[in-house]
Amino acid sequence: MGSVSTSCVVAVTTLLLLLLALGASGQLQVGFYSKSCPSAESTVASVVRGFSDSDSAILPALLRLQFHDCFVRGCDASVLIKGGNNNAEVDNAKHQGLRGLDVIDSAKAQLESQCPGVVSCADIVVLAARDAVAFTGGASFDVPTGRRDGKVSNMRDGDVLPDVHDSAQVLRSKFAASGLDDKDLVLLSSAHTVGTTACFFMQDRLYKYPLPGGGLGSDPSIPAGFLAELKSRCAPGDFNTRVPLDRGSERLFDTSILRNIRNGYAVIASDAALYNDTSTVDVVDSYSGLLSTIFGPYFRQDFAESMVKMGSIGVVTGTNGEVRKLCGKFN
């Protein structure tokens, strides 16, 4: 009997340790807050809708916010930390023009009043981006939740972000480092179907592009008529004027951005690079053809899948990390 009792104790102890280990590592799941905070997702959607009613440009900004958070240390809300000495992640120059932090703060304040200490800022960022896609005409889709907020935010960590000047090869490398493939690169770049960019990000392509024969000028791959159009909007030294990223369709979430890239009408260099690399050109073509909406691949569905995939990068779950009281500061 003693040996049996000892075996039972060992078995139970082993089971408890296993359950504790699983709890510590955690898992993302759709409807994570269905019992602990049932109104979590609807509250975030309501806040996003409220902000977008007075500022439609906030929707693409929320998409960009998730991208900037997830690509640096994973989706842990580290980009939301406000640094006092210009040493927080958000202070990195690659986060220039980042918006939407006030939307996240507003949603967090409401959720703290409903369910104190339950919903993480990292999940709010991902939910807000998901809602931004739907509110601009993109797919409505489920995202798994259960992220916790990270405890580190360093300015230099932002150096890993993709850059507007990166070649397709460099972009592919940076995406691969985050577990994303060439298809994800094209699909997530397609988020540029909504929103604008500052002329700051186009100055080199329009006026300081290294020419084959030496000297600087305009990127020769830009069609003449489109080049004249861009120059009329962005004069030399103009850093602040905003230009639609998706020529002719900047308010609607559709495949127009990919057709523009295919036809030479990409506004920023990193988008244009997608059609100058054999690894990504076929992906662009596969979604920009007229028959893809009938026979596939299906852009809306695949974009949603890439968003979910990006939202799983480096997540902190279980008993790791924390659930911040305020998104801009550690507990």
Nearest Cα neighbor of 196 from 81, 67, 61, 292 is 61
Task: Report which of 54, 240, 94, 282 is spatially closest to residue 174, judged by C-alpha positions.
Answer: 94
| Annotated catalytic residue within 68, 95, 165, 192 | 68
Whether 68 is catalytic is: yes
Q: Which two tokens stand for residue 101?
A: 């932090």
Determine whether 195 is exposed, middle or buried from the number of CB atoms within 10 Å of its CB (0-12, 13-18, 19+): buried
Q: Using alpha carbons, select from 287, 288, 258, 305 the residue that is nearest to residue 130.
A: 305
Q: Say which residue the tokens 């100058």 belong to.
A: 276
CA distance 33 to 35: 5
Q: Is 110 exposed, middle or buried (0-12, 13-18, 19+ CB in 10 A)?
A: middle
Q: How far are the Cα atoms of 97, 152, 211, 241, 251 from residue 230, in angstroms, in the given order?
A: 20, 40, 19, 11, 19
- The SS3 call for residue 275 is helix
In 3-state terms the chain splits into helix, strand, coil percentages (rounded to 5) of 55, 5, 40
Task: Assign residue 149 a region (left: φ > 0; alpha: ψ between -120 and 50; beta: otherwise).
Answer: beta
- Quote the CA–CA distance of 163 and 172 in Å, as a whole number: 12
Question: Please, which residues have CB within 8 angstroms of residue 307's CB and are 6 or more apart in sequence?
Answer: 66, 129, 130, 133, 141, 143, 188
For residue 5, the surrounding DSSP H or E stretch is helix 2-25
Residue 280 amino acid letter: T
Helix 58-70 vs helix 40-54: crossing angle, to nearest 10: 130
Q: Which residues are catalytic?
A: 68
